Amino acid sequence: MTTESREPRDEPPIAKRLIIGDPLTSHKLDDQLLPKKMALPIFASDALSSVAYAPQELLMILLTGGLAFLVFAPWIALAVVIVLAVVVISYRQLIKAYPSGGGDYEVASKNLGEIPGVVVASALLVDYVLTVAVSVASGVDNIISAVPELNPWRVELAVGFVIVIVIVNLRGVREASLVFALPTYIFIGSVALMIVIGLARTALGDPPVASSADYTVQGQSLTQAAFILLVLRAFSSGCSALTGVEAVANGVPAFRKPKVRNAQATLVLMGTIAVLLFAGLTALALYSGVHYSEDPCNLQGFDCENQPQPSLMAQVAGATFGVGSIPFFVIQAATACVLLLAANTAFNGFPLLGSVLARDGYAPKALNTRGDRLVFSNGMVILGIAAIGILVIFQANLTTLIQLYIIGVFISFSLGQIGMVRHWRRLLRDLATTEQVAATAVDTAAWTSLSTLPQDGPSAVASRAVPGFTPISPQGIRRERRGAKIGLVINSVGATLTVFVLVIVTITKFTHGAYLVFIMIPILATLMIGVNRYYRDVEHEIAVDDQTHFGSEGDVALILVNRLQKPVIKAIDYALAATHDKTLAIHVAVSKEESEALQRQWQKHEIPIPLVIIESPYRTFASPVAQFIREYRASHGSSIVTVYLPQYIVGHWWETILHNRRSRRIANQLMLIHGVSINLVPWLLDSSELIYGRRSRPLPGQERGGLTAEDPDPSVPITSAPPAS
């Protein structure tokens, strides 16, 4: 006997392939890891781009008190640089101690407990959303500074850029790094060149002059308390330059080996560049006389009614190279690009943190699933939707959004650094215990004179004598202790500074909108704990124990029959082939005429199983069948009941509307009955050839598995036919 072979034709979903690309197999995951030169634009774009708006926010707040307050700008900028340097050095220690990618969340969870851990995670997730919103809003702001005619389309531009960034990231980390590398390096180079040229001109007696240098500001009359508050508020706004530092610690798994060393090198390089650009841009803005006001109409002489206020970067570039010059537009384009791409840092940090939370049971498990391009695509989509919502609500207004910013990051900074302090203190205690155990278990003189760790040395003897003791030489203990003490000092300073800045940021930004962040973080933390408790309860409920008994007896098959058709015959054939103890056909009689017609057909075609008619006066289907099953099990014992349900498989989406899908509805209700299993028996209508036949696309799951429509389904075992006689 021969069978007709049909040549399948692969029709992949063109739109998905064009947007996201071809699926990648799991073994290519290592190919997606990043070298340092590509990791820098991926993880450092947020921290580097913040130098475009951090000096602007610092000077803007100071200008509220009048031009005289700009004298404090260098000292405030110096304080920001010191905090940034300390945080970068502190995070080098964190990367070494906790390289798994959990960052501050992992540190706080392991050293401070569950609640501080979920608070840090909530703060970071909120901050990642705000990172996208602030970065995109700032990028759009710089675009509008160069092309003022786009101002009415501010929100639409911001939303469009978020969608583009989501799509690029869905294509994979490696592809995103290639797209983002060039703009980031152009930004670093062009801004550095502008700073060098501007400062050189200043040193030669020809300082650049900003377009707003001649504008005056009517300062507010301030009390001594208000004066101090204004200076602290300017400092807190300048500290937005620290955002993004934590991204490298959260993204260690994405680096190539040696992961820790590459991540630390990238972090130091990022911090150095950020410090130089921030300090240089602030100095150049002061030398050129940039005046940037929170309310442009407060600038006396500026036409605030007919034109938007140019950004600080635009004013400095215009003063250095000339407005409308090629370098001016290069810097504006590079700044806008890197600000927009700074959101990419969040699109790496948010999904990675979400996967860690899902792994630990504090977030839905879907966040720990990699998509076709080996990225955590669910987290990326959620982040994009949340950021778009924030941009629409706040109309992509940078001045408003910046007030919500950096609260979350400094909460994570503070708790993470405090957790590191406890980590080093615990390590020092453990080292002291190790030394004491070794000296007690063997001869003290032999232990202290040991220079290496032989197989039967004192430490090895102690490890056999004392459970849980880890062999280590005296030199190893001294090295560990020295490193722990250095780490303790560094992270103690980091904890002190970050807590201090957190207090300042909270006081100065709370009434300006930051209270919303303090509302969202507890809500999100509570939801995380609730998710964790749910997963914990489910695990406890389904855990195997010795008290669980399996005492089901009997095996009955029920085939639900509406009319006698081929799908029903196929279901009967399946049930008979399975050789159940008893096989029954069940018909729910809604109409007397239909049930009588079915009985006549049943006898005519000599169907070899009994037909049971169940009356349904209320025209329901699942309830009468459920009642029949309960009564059967009550009279025949705890039988296993297998229900066979024929189901149509169609090829057009609109065909699902034309069929009532009764089988699935019945199955969903019958699954709630103890002792019942459901077998859906597919019947392929002719239109299903669009999926399964010669004109078919890949089967569901084939495309993601790298197979085409011509490839066999790997889930179906291949059996060899017996040889022909």
Per cent of the chain over pLDDT 70 is: 78
Say yes or no to pLDDT of 134 above 70: yes
**Cα–Cα distances in Å, from 36 out to 29, 83, 349?**
17, 24, 17
Higher pLDDT, 534 or 433: 534
Tokens of 213: 């240098």
Taking the C-alpha atoms of residue 398 and residue 20, their distance in angstroms, rounded to an integer, is: 30
Tokens of 313: 């970067």
Tokens of 86: 């300390």
Q: What angle do CA 106, 107, 111 make, to 5 degrees?
A: 115
> What is the per-residue pLDDT across 1-52, written as a single tens digit (0 to 9) for each?
333 334 333 444 555 555 555 554 444 444 456 666 777 777 777 777 777 7
Quick one: which of 507, 517, 245 has its CA closest to 404?
Answer: 517
Q: CB within 8 A of 111, min separation 6: which ones?
A: 418, 419, 420, 422, 423, 426
Question: Mean pLDDT, the chain, as a whole number?
Answer: 76
Tokens of 315: 């004013």
Tokens of 550: 């399996």
> What is the per-residue pLDDT across 74-126, written as a single tens digit (0 to 9) for each?
898 898 888 888 888 888 888 888 887 667 888 888 888 889 989 988 988 88
List the beta strands (DSSP E) in 363-411.
none
The pLDDT score that the predictor gives to residue 221 is 60
Instruction: Give the number of other CB atoms < 10 A from CB of residue 671.
Output: 11
Place 644 in a pLDDT band, splitting at 50, 70 and 90: very high
- Within 449-473, residue ranges assigned H as helices are 458-465
Tokens of 391: 């941009």
> What is the per-residue pLDDT across 462-493, written as a single tens digit (0 to 9) for each?
444 444 445 556 666 777 788 888 888 888 88
- H-run or E-run covering 644: strand 640-649
309 burial via Cβ count (<10 Å: 0-12, 13-18, 19+): buried
Say yes or no to pLDDT of 525 above 50: yes
pTM, 2 dp: 0.68
Mean pLDDT of 198-217: 85
Backbone angles phi, psi at 550, to 5 degrees: -115, 105
Quickly tell me which residue has 């130098």 as its tokens: 51
Quick one: which of 588, 542, 536, 582 has its CA closest to 562?
Answer: 588
The pLDDT score that the predictor gives to residue 548 is 56
Taking the C-alpha atoms of residue 284 and residue 292, their distance in angstroms, rounded to an integer, is: 14
- H-run or E-run covering 613: strand 611-615
Q: What angle do CA 359, 365, 368 make, to 5 degrees?
A: 60
> Are the CB atoms for 640 and 554 separated by under 8 Å?
yes
Pairing status of strand 555-560 against strand 676-684? unpaired
Q: 377-381, 483-487, 693-697: which range is least confident on average?
A: 693-697
What sign does the dihedral 590-592-593-599 (CA atoms) show? positive
Tokens of 365: 């498990």
Taking the C-alpha atoms of residue 109 and residue 359, their distance in angstroms, rounded to an integer, is: 14
The pLDDT score that the predictor gives to residue 200 is 92
Asked, as a colleague might, if the bond just before 522 is cis with ω within 30 of 0, I would say no
Sheet holding 676-684, edge to edge: 611-615, 582-589, 555-560, 640-649, 676-684
> Are the CB atoms for 369 and 351 separated by under 8 Å?
no
Query: How many residues in the chain?
Result: 725
> What is the per-residue pLDDT across 579-595, written as a single tens digit (0 to 9) for each?
888 899 999 888 888 88
Chain centroid, CA 438 distance in Å = 45
